[in-house]
Structure 1
């Protein structure tokens, strides 16, 4: 069964009420497929995709309400990279992996300090500079990825140097105007980085992303927004109530990709934006620590929610921008 995010596009715009009863057979099929492939793996083993290895048992968190951590996000990006390579082999879109997006934020934060190192050819920044140079040479025309902000939240952004636009999506503030987008940290980071490579006239735009209705779906919402941007015919935006289904279907895709490519993935073009080939193995960028974000859990309002486990209590509930504005006026 090929994946389109596991959802009927007619029911997945994030607007209106999903047809739960009519969707039940498709939902069950997705869950059963994912469980079947998961049970085929040794629970004491590991799974490796694009040189990222994790214990098989940790994959079970895709079938839960656990907040998606960095390894899980990178695995989803590998699925998208595989689909891009298969369906759009001539695409000039570059997927920024988490080492890239984290490094961009770090470099931007250091830009006005004595520790500023970009855009030099120093080893820790060389792979970021190469991506910028690829945009200048038109080998790439756009790049995008998922960014970790505020120590507890995933957002999505795309920079298109042909249209001169930076698109930004935040599932906690999906209805932001372009003016509001321009004041957010990640678009400003991308603007600063692109200016280092001669792109000085970038404007801001809102990226299509579904609003999350819980405290833990920012990861899957950000991924689906990026996948929908890259392959709109393959990925539909999930209704918030179907976020769990999208996660389970991605689990099936990740395992299938592991089984199909683990032997020859290192030579694949999909590894291009993971880490720089010029970096020594011992000097690769440390993976970020991503703490669990929020305290309360809302039960999914679907029959299949009984199959999803509940994550441990999490500190500090996220607040939407509207809540923050209201409290600031009080």
Structure 2
């Protein structure tokens, strides 16, 4: 733990010091041998340490962040028509697109993608957001607005998605709505390091759906951004743990 938290001491600025103090205080209430409460997957508490380093964040951390956004939206009555999917959603759409002609899209395996598409087309929901893996080791954000028939794509390094990357999304949206969706860029901070794509893609997603609460993270403040997420995860865990006590 001492090695991993060394970066906290190297951060500059009053905000960093404030975050570090809050995190240290919160950590005194946590048992490192336990698991995090209140998330879709109960991961070991020790996974938190990665937020305080320059290590690449994992699928675990990405889904934790998405869980936090999903719960935040639940407290915003005007945003109930926004759906946030996990990091595996795009993979389901790819598989559905590849086998659609066989009729398998109507099967149970694709029930979630199919029901989500139907809900969007019917107006029960209007917008869906998720994160996608591109180039095998890079992450970007996607928002599909069914009211404006628009697919937004945001990448912290590359301006455009890989060739053919949006094909499955165009198939899925057209299958459920009969409409041809246009493409637009999602506002995102340009990455200036080798480890922030997950954080910045998540930040672009949160900024799009809740712009007043989630400003874009400046490239110079990505470490503070990671600490903020870590604190949010800890706070939610402690809140849920107390409610279960």
Normalising by structure 2, we get a TM-score of 0.87
Q: Distance in 2 between matches of 1:243 and 1:164?
A: 32
User: Residues 150-205 of structure 1: CA distance to partner in whole angstroms, max 9, x if unpaired?
Assistant: 321111000001111100001112xx3xxx459451x3222111122124220000
User: Residues 10-39 of structure 1: CA distance to partner in whole angstroms, max 9, x if unpaired?
Assistant: xxxxxxxxxxx9x81122111221232233
Could you tell me which residue of structure 1 aligns to residue 180 of structure 2?
201
**Aligned 8 A contact 2:153 2:184 in 1:** yes
Q: Distance in 2 between matches of 1:34 and 1:199?
A: 49
Kindly state the Cα deviation for residue 148 of structure 1 after the two structures are TM-superposed: 1.8
2:104 pairs, out of 106, 117, 120, with: 117
Kindly state the Cα deviation for residue 82 of structure 1 after the two structures are TM-superposed: 1.8
Structure 1, unpaired ranges of 5+: 1-20, 266-330
- Aligned: 1:234 with 2:213: yes
User: Residues 254-313 of structure 1: CA distance to partner in whole angstroms, max 9, x if unpaired?
Assistant: 121122235879xxxxxxxxxxxxxxxxxxxxxxxxxxxxxxxxxxxxxxxxxxxxxxxx
Kindly state the Cα deviation for residue 137 of structure 1 after the two structures are TM-superposed: 1.4
User: Counting helix residues as a fraction of each chain, which structure ranks higher?
Assistant: 2
Question: Within 5 Å, which residues of 2 pair with 1:37-48?
Answer: 37-48=26-37
Q: Distance in 1 between matches of 2:18 and 2:61?
A: 22
The change in CA–CA distance for 1:250 and 1:261 in structure 2 (over 3 A counts) is same
**Aligned 8 A contact 2:37 2:240 in 1:** no
- Aligned: 1:79 with 2:68: yes
Kindly state the Cα deviation for residue 105 of structure 1 after the two structures are TM-superposed: 2.8
Kindly state the Cα deviation for residue 113 of structure 1 after the two structures are TM-superposed: 7.5
Q: Which stretch shows the higher mean deviation, 60-69 or 86-95?
A: 86-95
Bigger RCO (CA 8 Å, 6+ sep): 1
Could you tell me which residue of structure 2 aligns to residue 256 of structure 1?
235
Could you tell me which residue of structure 1 aligns to residue 54 of structure 2?
65
Could you tell me which residue of structure 2 aligns to residue 163 of structure 1?
148
Question: Within 5 Å, which residues of 2 pair with 1:9-24?
Answer: 24=13
Q: Distance in 2 between matches of 1:102 and 1:129?
A: 14
RMSD: 2.3
Could you tell me which residue of structure 2 aligns to residue 291 of structure 1?
none
Normalising by structure 1, we get a TM-score of 0.66
**Aligned 8 A contact 2:40 2:67 in 1:** no
Q: Distance in 2 between matches of 1:231 and 1:190?
A: 23
**Aligned 8 A contact 1:37 1:255 in 2:** yes
Count residues with an aligned counterpart.
234
- Aligned: 1:154 with 2:139: yes
Structure 2, unpaired ranges of 5+: 1-10
The change in CA–CA distance for 1:249 and 1:111 in structure 2 (over 3 A counts) is same
Question: Within 5 Å, which residues of 2 pair with 1:231-310?
Answer: 231-261=210-240
The change in CA–CA distance for 1:90 and 1:154 in structure 2 (over 3 A counts) is closer
Kindly state the Cα deviation for residue 68 of structure 1 after the two structures are TM-superposed: 1.3
Secondary structure, counterpart of 2:13 in structure 1:
helix
Q: Distance in 2 between matches of 1:196 and 1:263?
A: 45
Could you tell me which residue of structure 1 aligns to residue 86 of structure 2?
97
Kindly state the Cα deviation for residue 97 of structure 1 after the two structures are TM-superposed: 1.3
Kindly state the Cα deviation for residue 84 of structure 1 after the two structures are TM-superposed: 1.2
